[in-house]
């Protein structure tokens, strides 16, 4: 019999307790990963926005628009390869088949050149340029609205009164996983020529530019804003990611709260683990006295207890991480992507979350074991022997 055997046998002396503790650690790790995955997924659409694209909006408000001629002036700025624009349409499905989707009036000549992760067949693109009321939809949105190329589509708007009728001329498919597949785009000139859009006549919502060198995006952004700084409508240029997030500025607090909550579960796990260790150590105090009496140094006692704690935490952590990899990444994630793609285009636990979770479990295992281990190793032999299990 050696030390390892002793430690191993100790671990399963109270089998029920050890198993429950491992379960608690597993659960904590799973919850931690799930919350992190949620946060990552929420940001992911924005996270992977192309680095060479910047967006320019009205400086004061997302509801205020910019004069149409700004786009021509923007295109003259050095460093800008291509630029396009869009207006928010506030699209709604009159039959309410889906609660929310993005509807944009865009420039049909440049939109898909700039937003090139949406792939549209060339013949459909050509048809769009011929059809004034033509619309192109994401593949998932087309499915939800039950339309194909050639269908008639009627939608309503939060902003513009009445019914709006479009002819579906194309369906775009994503080139990357994080692209929203629930967007509808139609021609800006169609909106602009309609009398119902009198308040936004010859105005655009925001501009998106593709720049020649993504390293220069900060410089180019400053150049754009400087150009329009003396006008009545000043601009604010930022990365496309920041632009996407600016709509949900107030949501940041919820994510921060979740960040904290994910730490709370780790704290709960530590408490449970520490309690288990404290109970085990209390029961074995007499034995530790015996071990010390036959010549084991205090460091060994410390090692036993810390080792036991670390082992429980690691076993629980490995099971938890394994479950997360299996369940979220192979079952739940794909299901979320399929059913809630409006919110989560990419629901996946990244590797670093798994590593952090396992690392946290290990570190907290040591932390939880520390107090009982130190107390036990410092105990006087005579005191320890006097204690009965």
Partner 1 sequence: MVPFQYNARSLWVRKVTTLATAFGIALVVFVFAGALMLGDVSRVLAAAGRADTVIILRKGSDAELTSAIANDYLGLFRGPPQVSQAGGVIGEIVVVVIAEHADGSGSSNVLVRGTPPEGIAFRPEIKIISGRAPKPGTNEVIVGKAISGRFKGLSAGQSIDLRRNRPLQVVGEFTAGGASYESEVWGDLDYVRNALGREAVVSSARVRLNSSADFDAYRQIIETDKRYSMKVMRESDYYEKQSQQTAAFLKTLGLVVAILFSLAAMIGAAITMNGAVAHRSREIGTLRALGFSRRAILASFLIEAIVLAVVGGIIGSALVLVLSVLVSFPVINFQTFSEIVISFHATPAVFVKSLVFSGVMGLIGGLVPAIRAARVSPIEAMRA
Q: Could you list the residues that contact partner 1 (CB under 8 A)?
A: 14, 16-17, 20-21, 23-24, 27-28, 31, 34-35, 59-64, 90, 92, 156-162, 199, 230-234, 236, 246-254, 257-258, 261, 264-265, 267-269, 271-272, 274-276, 278-279, 283
- Smallest separation, CB 48 to partner 1 (Å): 20
Whole-number Å distance between alpha carbons of 378 and 298: 7
Q: Which of 33/114 has CB closer to partner 1?
A: 33
- Smallest separation, CB 119 to partner 1 (Å): 30
- Smallest separation, CB 256 to partner 1 (Å): 9
Q: Which residues of 150-189 are buried (b: 16+ CB within 10 A; e: fewer)?
A: eeebebebebbeeebebbbbbbbebeeebbbbbbbbbbbe
* Ranges of H-type helices in the chain: 3-11, 15-47, 70-75, 111-114, 122-130, 139-144, 188-192, 217-227, 240-246, 252-293, 298-327, 333-339, 351-378, 381-386
- Smallest separation, CB 34 to partner 1 (Å): 8
| Residue whose pair of structure tokens reads 């994630």 in the numeric block | 333
**Which among 10, 68, 31 has a CA at the least distance from the CA of 324?**
31
Question: Pairing mode, if any, of strands 183-187 and 102-106?
Answer: parallel
Q: Which of 186/228 has CB closer to partner 1?
A: 228
Q: Which of 5/230 has CB closer to partner 1?
A: 230
- Smallest separation, CB 327 to partner 1 (Å): 13
- Smallest separation, CB 165 to partner 1 (Å): 15
Q: Which of 215/335 has CB closer to partner 1?
A: 335
Q: Which of 172/288 has CB closer to partner 1?
A: 288
Q: Which of 80/357 has CB closer to partner 1?
A: 357
- Smallest separation, CB 162 to partner 1 (Å): 8
H-helix or E-strand spanning residue 136: strand 134-138
Return the DSSP state at 237.
E
Q: Which of 120/306 has CB closer to partner 1?
A: 306
Q: Which of 28/313 has CB closer to partner 1?
A: 28
| Residue whose pair of structure tokens reads 């288990």 in the numeric block | 276
How crowded is the C-beta side of 275, counted as CA atoms within 13 Å? 12
How crowded is the C-beta side of 136, counted as CA atoms within 13 Å? 27
- Smallest separation, CB 23 to partner 1 (Å): 6
- Smallest separation, CB 271 to partner 1 (Å): 4
Which residues are registered as beta bridge partners of 173? Answer: 119
Cα 182 to Cα 85, 127, 136, 138: the distances in Å are 19, 21, 11, 5
**Which among 38, 29, 22 has a CA at the least distance from the CA of 332?**
38
- Smallest separation, CB 187 to partner 1 (Å): 21
- The answer to whether the CB of 196 falls within 8 A of the CB of 160 is yes
Q: Which of 218/271 has CB closer to partner 1?
A: 271
Q: Which of 51/254 has CB closer to partner 1?
A: 254
How many whole angstroms from its chain centre is CA 132?
37
């Amino acid at each position: 019999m050696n030390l390892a055997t002793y430690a191993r046998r100790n671990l399963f002396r109270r089998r029920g307790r050890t198993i429950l503790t491992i379960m608690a650690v597993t659960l904590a790790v799973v919850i931690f990963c799930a919350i992190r995955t949620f946060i990552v997924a929420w940001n992911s659409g924005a996270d992977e926005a192309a680095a060479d694209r910047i967006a320019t909006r009205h400086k004061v408000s997302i509801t205020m628009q910019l004069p149409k001629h700004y786009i021509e002036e923007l295109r003259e700025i050095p460093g800008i390869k291509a630029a396009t624009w869009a207006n928010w349409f506030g699209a709604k499905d009159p039959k309410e088949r889906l609660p929310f989707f993005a509807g944009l009036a865009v420039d049909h000549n440049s939109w898909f050149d700039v937003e090139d992760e949406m792939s549209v067949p060339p013949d459909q693109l050509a048809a769009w340029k011929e059809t004034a009321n033509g619309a192109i939809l994401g593949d998932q949105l087309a499915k939800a609205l039950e339309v194909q190329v050639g269908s008639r589509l009627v939608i309503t708007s939060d902003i513009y009164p009445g019914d709006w009728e479009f002819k579906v001329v194309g369906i775009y498919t994503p080139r990357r996983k994080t692209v929203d597949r629930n967007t509808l785009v139609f021609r800006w000139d169609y909106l602009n020529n309609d009398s119902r859009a009198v308040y936004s006549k010859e105005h655009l919502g925001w501009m998106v530019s593709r720049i020649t060198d993504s390293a220069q995006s900060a410089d180019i952004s400053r150049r754009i804003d400087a150009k329009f700084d003396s006008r009545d409508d000043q601009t604010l240029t930022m990365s496309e990611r920041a632009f996407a997030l600016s709509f949900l500025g107030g949501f940041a607090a919820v994510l921060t709260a979740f960040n904290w909550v994910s730490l709370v579960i780790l704290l709960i796990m530590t408490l449970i683990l520490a309690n288990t260790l404290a109970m085990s150590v209390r029961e074995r105090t007499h034995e530790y006295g015996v071990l010390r009496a036959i010549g084991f140094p205090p460091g060994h006692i410390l090692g036993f207890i810390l080792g036991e704690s670390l082992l429980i935490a690691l076993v629980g952590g490995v099971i938890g991480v394994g479950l997360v990899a299996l369940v979220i990444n192979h079952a739940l994630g794909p299901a979320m992507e399929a059913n809630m793609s409006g919110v989560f285009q990419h629901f996946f636990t990244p590797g670093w979350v798994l590593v952090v979770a396992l690392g946290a479990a290990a570190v907290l295992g040591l932390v939880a074991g520390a107090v009982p281990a130190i107390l036990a190793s410092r105990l006087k032999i005579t005191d320890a022997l006097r204690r009965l299990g």
